[in-house]
Each structure stands twice: as structure tokens, then as C-alpha cells.
Structure 1
Amino acid sequence: MGGTPYLEEKRGAYASPRARSKRKAIIFGGIAALAAVIIVVVVAVYFTVVKPHSSSHNDSADGAAKAGSSATGSASSASPTGASTQNLAVSGGDGSTITTEDGTTFTYTNPFGGTWYYDPSDPFNNAAQAQSWTPALNETFNYGVDQIRGVNLGGWLVTEPVSRFVPALYEKYVNTSTPAVDEWTLSEAMANDTESGGLQQQLEDHYKTFITEQDFAEIAGAGLNWVRIPLPYWAIEVREGEPFLPQVAWKYFLKAIQWARKYGIRINLDFHSLPGSQNGWNHSGRLGSVNVLNGPMGIANAQRSLDYIRVIAEFISQPEYKDVVAMFGVTNEPQGNMVGQEALASYYLQAYDNVRGASGIGTGNGPFISFHDGFIGLAGWAGFFPNSDRTSLDLHPYICFDGQSSSPYSSRLSVPCQTWATNQNNSMSAFGLSTAGEFSNAINDCGLWVNGVNLGARYDGTYSGGGTFPFVGECEPWTDWTSWNQSMKADIQQFALASMDALQNWFFWTWKIGNSSVSGRVEAPAWSYQLGLQQGWMPTDPRQAVGICESTAPFNPPLQPWQTGGAGAGQIPASFSSSFAWPPATISNAGAATLLPTYTQTGSVPTLPAPTLSATASINAGDGWNNASDTASMFVPIATCNYLNPWCGEVPAPSPLCSAPAKRAHQLAAPTITAAP
């Protein structure tokens, strides 16, 4: 076990009560021969049945008692009814056996000194450690010094049609009159497909099987210490006309917290899908128009989104969860160039206030807050949010959607170091913690539905999403990973290592990809970390990346004290706050904010529930709300106001805005492909 001190917290012993056998022989006179027969039968039964069973039981109990806190054979688990199934160990390392909630087992493989820890009678214990070089969850993660090496769990709680996630969910409905192209249309198709179980059964079957506890164990065993988990707003609630399955995704996010805690992995919760869509892409929930900070519903949708950010922040800032969910990406990939940096900065500053209002200022109070760069670039944010408490920038450096080239990996190995390393180094100094929330091994856009359902690929000239892209080559050599030779795999691995070193703190997109229901295999291999490990093009130890780029001007840690919650944290100058006050004066493609529909803060707040524990009722799982003094109500529609559909697109604002009787306009724009920044 490597002598880790955290195993001392295990319970001292788990011995079963000793079985004791008692028998009384009562012989009432009788015929001597019959008495002899009775004695022979009883003695035979005792020595062939009772005595061996009793000895076996006692030996088992003695073994458990002798093992005490050093038992590492299997994971402590609870049955579905909440009763302990057996007296199992609560911790272990490489080679130990894990017993999952449903009773299945697997061997924990972690050659890096990682130890898991789970005791159902102490479910919020943070003693687990992903690897020997990664601080345990009950230790301080030193941002800027300790390196984030993570993967996304893409396609799990936010489904996406592209093959790098879960194509089988969408393939079933792609040849219908209204093909499923995003989770909105998928939800509608599933709801109508009652023969297959409808929406809830089909989607929950996906939640149950796509990512499991074993994935978290494998992630730790791969030398990775973080996961980034996309979460949609419908994990909290849905409103009128929205077809998404509400609240169920949250139940599985709670499982993710439990599994991450068990294996010492920290979580970056990424608010991935916002009401109205923050970017118009399929992963925002609905393919089509941008309706957050853009268009006539831009401010109302932003108000609603900020409320959801507050609800999430209140939950994850509770002491039971803050050390596991250690980072919060408040909005994934907003269209910064469309909505404008000033409006986006105003929104981000209000999101910051909501998160810190839930958690408080200072080290250890709530999560690191991650702001996506909005495709403006890291350099464009230098100097923003001065003295803000634990804020970071999020960059998604993909090269596969740019100009296409037939050049092999061997000629592209210098791209990450030359393109990304300097920018990351500079941003770590000019802003603070800067992470790559997404990147992949893809150097072109080949792969089933990488660009969207039936949109084709730029590389082979079939892309129909806009623009003109000439034929470069066939995609099959890039997607048929079964034909890759060792030389190509070695080049891909070197490309991955260069990317990791250049980006420093990163989350690969994505951990796993579902098989196509047509071909039965992964159809976009450059996006799967797990497949790369299995097939030999991803490094088995990500530390191999250190020094690959040989940067001439590397970031010199540590970060500034205020950047990690130390001295001066949270003291944002009033001049900055006033320059980016919420709400912004104007909304892009809509005009003055004062002339647009807004919500009123009079609704009830949908507090997120805590997990149901199988242990004693005395254990506090939190009530979902960290700051009891945060009593503001929810932003909801005004009963006497006209509102366009939240997903309406860039149409004229309703006029007059308020009248009686109440009226709701349901004008909805047709889905279109939003151009990439």
C-alpha cells in the first residue's frame, strides 16, 4: 500500500460474529441397537456437515479479525437495499478486487501507487489518492504546480450524435422523417418510441451503461487525476415546451461524485447546455440559433442560466462535495465573437458573484471557477477579473476543423509545441490558471458525424455545413484503426505527448466513444483515450509528456497568491466591476437591454437533491444549499408579459412587451448550422 497514512482511517476490524455449534444428545432408553444407530447417524452428521461448516466460518472470522485495517482484498459495498452484503475491505491498491454496487467484481489495476477508499459507513471520507504524485482528496491540490491530467466524459450526461460520443443512440432515429440531430430531437424521437421504452427508459439505460464505476478506476489507473463532466441545464429542470428528460442526469452525476471520491479523482463540472443555446451547436441541446446574450431572448435566457449556475454552485460548495467537485466551468463554448467580449465579461462577472455568493471567498471555499475563452483567445483575456478568487481560463485547441491536409502525423508533431505552448505559458502569468478543457488527437475532421448528423467531412469534400472544401482524400485510412501499423500508432502517441506538454493542464476529449450500431466499432478513433490505451497509441503514463516541447519561456510557478485563494483573493477593483456591470447595456442582434424581455425574481428555487445513502441515517449528506443566507428567488416569466420562445433566434422582439391578458409568442426559428468562430 506504499505506506500511505490515509489507510489509518479505515475501520479497525470487520470480523463476523463467530458461529458456535451446540448440540445436546438426549437419549431416552430404548432398544440398544436403535440407540447405537442414532449415535452413529448423529456423529456422522456432525463430522461431515456441522463441524466443517463451523470451522470454516470461524476461520473466516479469525482471518478478518487478524487482517483488521490492512485488509485490501475487495471494495466495501452496499446492497441495493442498503444492507452490507459482506464484510469487505474499505481500501486497496494495485491488484485488489473491487466489488461494485450490483455485486460484480473487477481487478483494480493502478501501477502508479494509487489507492481507492470507500466505506459505506463513512461515505464522505476523502482518503483516496489517484496516484502517488497526485494529492489525495483530503490534501491541497497546488494549482500551477500540481498538474491537471484529465479526460472528459463526453456523451454521457449530455448526448451528442457525433461518433466520438454515442452514435448508436442517434443511428436508430437518423432515417426517420425528422432525424435526431441533437438531444432535443433525440428526446422527441425517444418519447414517441414507446415500443422501445420511451424517453426515460432509453436515456436512463444509456446513463447506466455508458459510464460506470469501472471507468473511474481505469482513469486513475491510466495516470489521470481529473475528469471534466458536461452537465445540461435539464439536470435541474425544464420549462414549457422543452422535451428534455428533467432531473435524471443529476442522479447519475451524484454517482460520478461517489466514484470519483472512491478513486481519488477530482471533477471539473462543466455547465455544457444552457436554455436557448449559448452557441447554436448540437451539444448545447438544440442545433440552430444562439439565444444566450444574443437576440431578443438573450438577456432572459442569461438570467435563467445564471440562476442554474447559482443552484449548482450552492450544491457543490457544501463541505461534503467541495473537495471532489473542485472546478466549475460556468458556460461551455459561448459565442464570444458574436455576443461581444464586454457582454460576455459582464455575464462571467455575475456568474462569479453567484458562485462566490454560494461558497464564500478564500482558500477552500467552493470550486475554482473556469471561464471559456469564448473563442476570443487566451491573450484577449489578459488582465480581466483582477484579484478574482480562484478563476481560470478554458481553451479548446482543436486543429481538425481548420484547413484540411493529407500530411501524416509524422509531419505534424511540432504543431502543438509551436502553436499552443507559448500561449499557455503567457496566459498562466498574465491571467492565472489556464487549462485546455478539450483537445484531441484528430488532425482532420474525418469520422462518422464528427461535424454533425449527415453533414459529411471537409477532408473528403462532403461537408454540407457551409463553405467550400475541396476533396483532399478518403477518410477511411484515418478512421479504420484496425489497419494502423506500429509506426502510425507511435506517431499519434508522440503527437498526444506533445499536446499534453504544450497545454500543461488539460482534459482530453474524450475518455470513451460508443461503438456504431452499424459497423460495431468506434468510428472516430482519434477522439478516444480509452481505445488509444487499448490499441497502443496513447501513453500508458502521461508523465512521459514532460519536456517534449522544450519551451524556451516556460511558466515559472507558483501562481500569484490571490489566483489560488490566498492574500488579496476576491478584492476585485470597483472600477473593473462597474465597467462590466450586469446586465450589459446592449444585447447583440437585439439592441438595448432595457427594451428586451426579462424575467422577474419571484419564482421558487429548485434545490438539487443529495444522494440517498445506504448507511446510517445520522450521516449528513447536505441539503443542497451551502449558504443559508442566499435567499433570493428564481428568475421566472412575468405573468403579464409577452415572451418569444426561448429558442426563437434573431427575430424582432415582441411589442408591446407587457400587456393583459398574458400572451406567449411561440415563434421558433428553423434549425440551422451556426458557423464556427
Structure 2
Amino acid sequence: MLYSLGYIALLFISSACGWMPEEHRSMTNKTGFNLFDTATDHNSTDKRWLPGSGKIRGVNLGSLFVIEPWINSDEWSSMGCGEQHSEFDCVIHLGQMQANAVFQSHWGSWITQADIAQMQSYGLNTIRIPVGYWMLESLVYADSENFPQGGFSYLEQVCGWASDAGFYIIIDMHGAPGAQVSQNADTGQWASTPGFYVSWQYNRATQFLSWLTQNIHSNNNFRNVGMIGIVNEPVQIADTTATMRQTYYPNAFNAIRAAESAAGVSANNYLHIQAMNQNWGSGDPNQYLTDLYFAAYDDHRYLKWANVEVSQASYISTSCTDTDAGGNTPTVVGEFSLSVPDDVQWTAAWDPSTQQAFYKQWFAAQVMTYERTAIGWVFWTWKTQLGDYRWSYQDAVTAGVIPVNPEDVYSYGAC
């Protein structure tokens, strides 16, 4: 979840990777099978395919396995976490046993099978699941790290529901060892400084990715997991992330491929490996990569923190023409929302209770652009306790701002 980003538009340049957006933006595996195409007979060995739409249209399961207290503050308080900044802090506050109990209750109720069914009824085809490295509990330093335990079985459950419903699944390492950014609950800890950018933390992260890959390829509940994000929103300072690009990225790719090779996975069934694209500001993710087969990229587009004129007309125009800057391909816009700058968000011109027509047009402008310039989009997030549909796909559909069928945005004339 982003808290500061200068606005940079999208342009996708060619690179050698396992699947590319073609004329109709199809996604093909190594054998040429269109992973989105239900009109073609589906080979059961070619898993991780999408029904229906030829574009990724999805939602994040925010605050499920990496709780961000601002999203669900009522539940955070009821869990006994109160004023705690992050999961790490709450586990210290409650003690391990009590924390395990309250977090397991949260995991079992925040996203249910009924939620998955509702997402499906809304024409969505993809979910992105933020997770932390501590889900592999053997990686956690018992003497200095504090995280809730038992999350993996709930991840298995939600992926099973989503696979049964035909969803494409992206699992993203949102919380990296040592924290990839400081003072942000979306890393799972309120770290004073980002401690991820050292070799031993990279090694722990690659261990997590290898373990996750093994589980994805051996457990039927994970059969529709097609993409792993190897680190969410690293710091936007190219010098700081130099070792990440030079060491961690190649090692992460190698660890995932080695786990697949050891499991006897054929190349057509590899996972797509996703890094933040060059637009993000952490440098070129491909700089030290030698094999881009089934590589993919993530970009997060929040005008809320962008350097653009804050007006409704500007937001519509900017989103409609978001095509101008360099990047990597294929990119999924893995996060965006309908939120606007804090200092204006409750003023009359931006009030969600009276400005539904604008937010409806702005949503349409964004997703049409992300389907034109990228291979699709994943809204942040599915549900919140904010009472504000600008961050909640579920609430925005109820409010009539997001259509039940995403295809309807093409009839709105937003752009």
C-alpha cells in the first residue's frame, strides 16, 4: 500500500519474456495456449488460466494476512491491538498465544468463501494476496521477531476457494525480512529504518519464495496461483536498491526456478515472477537479470500522491492519457484506488456521498487505460471498515460507482 509516489505515466517497451500482450492482449504460455481463452479446449496440465475476460480484472485482499490498521481499525481494536502500529507490535503486546488466537479468528472471517463468490458475481477474475515472509515460521528469529503463527492454512483455504471459482491468483511478498520500507504497517512491522537491503535478509526472502513455490506446485489448492511478487514497493531510491537489483532479484528468480525444476515442473507451467516496474522508481528491475522468461512487472497508480492538478477534470484527463513514461512489459497495475488527497477528500467537490458521478467516470477512465496500456488491473482493496467506497471495491459496487460488470465502463464515455 503506497503512501508517497510522484506521478509517472505508463509506456511498455518490448522485452524477451514468457508472455507478452499481443494484439488482443492475450496471455500465452510457452506452448502457445491462451491462458484467458475459454473457447479453446483447456489442457489440464496448463494450469493458472483465466476464464472470461482477456484482461486481468481483480481486487487485492488487503489487510487479510498483512493487517494495515487504518483499513480495519474497528477489528484491530477488537483484537486487542488498539494503538499498536503493526502486527509485530501487536504480537509483543498480546503475547504469542493470545495473538495467534485473535489473528486466526481474523483470518477466518475477514475474507470468506461468500466474499469470493461475490467477487466472481461482479465479473472479477483475479485476486492479489499480500503475505509476509513470516508465514514460513522457521524463518522468524525467535529471540527478536514477533509475528502471528498459523497463517499458512488460511492462505491454503482462500486459494482453494479462489481456484474453485476460477480466479487467477497473485501472491505478493508484501512483508520482507527486515522491512523494505520504514514505519509502514504494510511490511508487518513498524521498522525505524528499512533493514531489507542486506545479504542475509535477501537470503531469507529467497528461502521464503522457494518454500512458497514448492507449495504452489504440490498443493492442489494453489493450482490457480500463477504469479509471485518478489517484494512490494521497495524504497524509491535507486542507490539504496542497487544490491536488491544486483543480488536479490537474480537470486529470487533462480530460487523459484530451482524449486520448479526440482519439482519436475514443465516450463509451460512456470510461475510468473513479478517485480515492481521501472516506473516505481527503484531502478530497472531487469538490469542484472539474464533470463526474463515468464517475468512480469507491477505498477501502483495513486493520483492521491501524484504531482498533478487536483481537480476532477485533471484527474479524468490524467487517467485517460496515462501512457507517456518508460516502463517494463508485461505490467499489471497491481494497486490503484479512488482516493484523493487528504486535504480535499471531504470537501464538497470531492465528497463521495454527493460526487458519485465523478468517481464513476474516474474509475472507468483508470481501468480502461490500464486495460489498454497494461494487461489489466487489481483494485486496492476488496473491503474496508472506513465507510468510504473510494478504498473499497465492495462498497463502491454497492454505491453504484463501480459497475457489477466491469465491461460496462466502456459505455460511460469517460475518455
The normalised TM-score by structure 1 is: 0.49
User: SS of the residue aligned with 1:435?
Assistant: strand
Output the CA distance in 1 between the equivalents of 2:119 and 2:55. Answer: 15
Q: Is the contact between residue 298 and residue 334 of structure 2 (CA under 8 Å) also seen in structure 1?
A: yes
Output the CA distance in 2 between the equivalents of 1:135 and 1:284.
41
* Deviation at residue 404 of structure 1 after TM alignment: 7.8
Q: Deviations over 1:266-286 (max 9, x none)?
A: 210111112210112221111
Q: Which amino acid aligns with 1:259?
A: W
Please say if 1:146 is aligned against 2:17: no
In structure 2, distance between residues paired with 1:216 and 1:272: 21
Contact 1:272 1:332 in 2 (8 A): yes
Give the Å deviation of 1:191: 3.0
Residue of 392, 403, 413 corresponding to 1:539: 403
CA contact 1:333–1:373 (8 Å) conserved in 2: no
Percent identity over the alignment is 23
The residue number in structure 2 matching 1:168 is 74
Cα separation, partners in 2 of 1:171 and 1:523, compared to 1, 3 Å: farther
For residue 286 of structure 1, what is the aligned residue in structure 2?
A: 189
Q: Distance in 1 between matches of 2:317 and 2:355?
A: 21
Structure 1 equivalent of residue 102 of structure 2 = 202
The match for 1:328 among 218, 228, 237 is 228
Secondary structure in 1 matching 2:301: coil
| Number of the residue aligned with 1:186 | 90
Shift in alpha-carbon separation, 1:152–1:486, aligned structure 2, 3 A: closer
Alpha-carbon shift at residue 209 of structure 1 (Å): 1.1
Partner of 1:344 in structure 2?
245
C-alpha change, 1:540 and 1:345, in structure 2 (3 Å) is: farther
CA shift for structure 1 position 406: 4.8
Aligned mate of 1:353, from 237, 254, 258: 254
The amino acid of 2:301's aligned partner reads P
Counterparts of 1:365 and 1:389, CA distance in 2: 12
Which whole-Å CA distance do the structure 2 matches of 1:496 and 1:342 have between them?
A: 34
Cα distance, 1:523 vs. partner? 4.0
Question: How far apart are the structure 2 equivalents of 1:283 and 1:135?
Answer: 40
Who is 1:393 aligned against?
Answer: 297
State which of 236, 254, 257 in structure 1 corresponds to 2:136: 236
Checking the alignment, whether the CA contact within 8 Å between 2:234 and 2:282 is kept in structure 1 is no
Q: d(CA) in 2 for partners of 1:173 and 1:368?
A: 36
Kept in 1: contact 2:69–2:85 (CA 8 A): yes
Cα distance 1:414–1:498, how it changes in 2: closer, same or farther (>3 A)? Answer: farther
Q: Determine helix, strand or coil for the equivalent of 1:413.
A: helix
Q: Tell me which residue corresponds to 2:15.
A: none
Q: CA deviation at 1:348?
A: 0.6
C-alpha spacing 1:479/1:189, structure 2 compared with 1 (3 Å)? farther
Tell me, yes or no, if the aligned pair for 1:368 and 1:392 is still in contact at 8 Å: yes
Q: Is contact 2:171–2:227 with CA below 8 Å preserved after alignment?
A: yes
- Considering only CA atoms, is the larger Rg found in Structure 1 or Structure 2? 1
Runs (5+) with no aligned partner, structure 1: 1-128, 447-458, 460-472, 516-521, 552-677
Distance in 2 of aligned mates of 1:544 and 1:378: 35
Deviations 1:437-475 (A, max 9, x none): 11111232x3xxxxxxxxxxxx2xxxxxxxxxxxxx473
Cα-to-partner distance string for 1:528-570 (whole Å, 9 max, x where unaligned):
111011110012222245699999xxxxxxxxxxxxxxxxxxx
The 3-state SS of whatever aligns with 2:267 is: coil
Give, in whole Å, the separation in 2 of the partners of 1:528 and 1:312: 28
- Contact 1:417 1:549 survives alignment (8 Å): no
Cα distance in 1 for residues equivalent to 2:349 and 2:277: 30
* Distance in 2 between residues matched to 1:376 and 1:264, nearest whole Å: 30
Q: What is the 5 A alignment of 1:494-643? A: 494-501=364-371, 502-513=373-384, 515=385, 522-545=386-409
- 3-state SS of the aligned residue for 1:242? coil
1:312-327 equivalences in 2 (<5 Å): 312-318=212-218, 320=220, 323-327=223-227
Secondary structure of residue in 2 paired with 1:412: helix
Size of the alignment, in residue pairs? Answer: 368
Larger RCO (CA within 8 A; separation ≥ 6): 2
Q: Secondary structure at the match of 1:289?
A: coil
Report what 1:416 is aligned to. Answer: 319
Match of 1:158 among 58, 66, 85: 66
Cα 1:342–1:359 shift into 2, 3 Å: same
Q: Which residue of 2 aligns with 1:9?
A: none
Secondary structure of 2:59's counterpart equals: strand
- 1:373 CA drift (Å): 3.1
Q: CA deviation at 1:476?
A: 5.7
Q: Equivalents in 1 of 2:157, 2:303: separation in Å?
A: 34
1:487 matched to 2:390? The reply is: no
For residues 534 and 182 of structure 1, the distance between their equivalents in structure 2, rounded to whole angstroms, comes to 30
Contact 2:87/2:148 (8 A) holds in 1:
no
Q: Is residue 149–residue 224 contact of structure 1 (8 Å, CA) maintained in 2?
A: yes
User: What amino acid is aligned across from residue 490 of structure 1 in structure 2?
Assistant: K
CA gap of 1:339–1:136, structure 2 versus 1, over 3 A, is farther
Q: Deviations over 1:419-440 (max 9, x none)?
A: 3x344xx64xxx4321111111
Paired with 2:90 and 2:412, the residues of 1 have a C-alpha distance of 43
Contact 1:151–1:226 (Cα < 8 Å) also in 2: yes
Stretch moving more, 323-332 or 373-382:
373-382
Are the counterparts in 2 of residues 529 and 538 from structure 1 also a CA contact under 8 Å? yes
The answer as to whether partners of 2:50 and 2:167 remain within 8 angstroms in 1 is no
Greater helix share, structure number: 2
- CA distance in 2 between counterparts of 1:242 and 1:342 reads 24
**Partner secondary structure for residue 174 of structure 2:** strand
Please provide the CA RMSD for this pair: 3.6
The equivalent residue for 1:260 is 162
Which amino acid is 1:308 matched to?
A: F
Task: Give the Cα–Cα distance (whole angstroms) in 2 for the partners of residues 268 and 332 of structure 1.
Answer: 12
Taking the aligned partners of 1:478 and 1:166, their CA distance within structure 2 comes to 26
Deviation at 1:173, TM superposition (A): 8.7
**Equivalent position amino acid for 1:152 in 2:** N
1:418: Cα distance to partner? 2.0
Task: Give deviations 1:247-267, integer Å, cap 9, x for gaps.
Answer: x11111011121012111121
Q: Is the CA contact 1:479–1:525 (under 8 Å) kept in the aligned structure 2?
A: no
Counterparts of 1:236 and 1:384, CA distance in 2: 27
Whichever residue aligns with residue 112 of structure 2, its letter is T
Distance 1:532 1:142, change over 3 A: closer
Query: What letter is aligned with 1:253?
Result: L
Cα deviation for residue 305 of structure 1 reads 1.4
